[in-house]
């Protein structure tokens, strides 16, 4: 079954919105960590993960913008097919998931800065969040 260009356009626009919000959040984390006086192993790991997350979400923003522009009716390209944006689609999906995993890892690791008890809690919440996100992305046909 081939997905219509209108559907790709809507999907790209939604992913563009989500990615831009998550990139902004990741960049905010980076800015806060850069001005922080704490310089331990966990904080440096969080800074690296936030940088990966922000970079990946920014790449996703630009790939989804390209797909959105290609699939907009009356846009700058004519006779577009789904094959015309295979590379931006693959890059965008890959970077979106790497950014998401990095962001969830930040969520999971952040509590360890405070204490073992809070670290266990935030790790638990991060794992549950990942499982729930993955659950919503899996399509199950019953019947």
Q: What is the pLDDT of residue 142?
A: 57
- pLDDT 10s digits, 32-69: 999 988 889 999 999 999 999 999 999 999 999 999 99
Q: Can you give the pTM of this predicted structure?
A: 0.88
Provide the 10 A C-beta neighbour count for residue 103: 24
H-type alpha helices, the chain: 5-35, 41-71, 86-110, 116-137
Kindly indicate the confidence band of residue 139, based on its pLDDT and cuts at 50, 70 and 90: low
| Count of other CB atoms within 10 angstroms of residue 5 | 19
How far apart are the C-alpha atoms of 59 and 54, rounded to whole Å?
9
Q: Which CATH number fits domain 5-137: 3.30.1300, 1.20.140, 1.25.40, 1.10.4100?
A: 1.20.140
pLDDT of res. 61: 97
In this prediction, residue 82 carries a pLDDT of: 79
Amino acid 79: pLDDT: 78
If pLDDT is split at 50, 70 and 90, which confidence band does 2 have? confident
pLDDT of residue 141: 55
Sketch the domain layout of the chain as residue ranges. Answer: 5-137
- Of the candidates 141, 140, 143, 112, the one whose C-alpha atom is nearest the C-alpha of residue 126 is 112
58-68 residue pLDDT tens: 999 999 999 99
Nearest residue to 11 (alpha-carbon basis) of 73, 71, 54: 71
Q: What pLDDT sits at residue 118? A: 96
**Interval 93-135: pLDDT, tens:** 999 999 999 999 999 999 999 999 999 999 999 999 999 998 9
Please give the residue that has the higher pLDDT: either 3 or 100. Answer: 100
**Cβ proximity of 112 and 122 under 8 Å:** yes
Q: For residue 66, what pLDDT is reported? A: 92
């Amino acid at each position: 079954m081939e997905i219509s260009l209108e559907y790709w356009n809507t999907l790209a626009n939604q992913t563009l919105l989500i990615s831009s919000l998550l990139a902004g959040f990741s960049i905010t984390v980076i800015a806060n960590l850069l001005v922080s006086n704490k310089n331990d192993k966990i904080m440096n790991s969080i800074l690296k993960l936030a940088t990966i997350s922000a970079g990946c979400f920014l790449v996703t923003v630009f790939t989804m913008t390209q797909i959105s522009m290609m699939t907009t009716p009356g846009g700058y390209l004519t006779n577009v097919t789904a094959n015309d944006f295979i590379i931006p689609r693959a890059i965008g999906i890959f970077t979106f998931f790497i950014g998401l995993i990095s962001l969830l890892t930040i969520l999971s690791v952040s509590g360890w800065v405070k204490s073992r008890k809070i670290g266990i809690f935030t790790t638990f919440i991060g794992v549950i969040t990942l499982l729930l996100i993955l659950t919503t992305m899996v399509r199950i046909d019953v019947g």
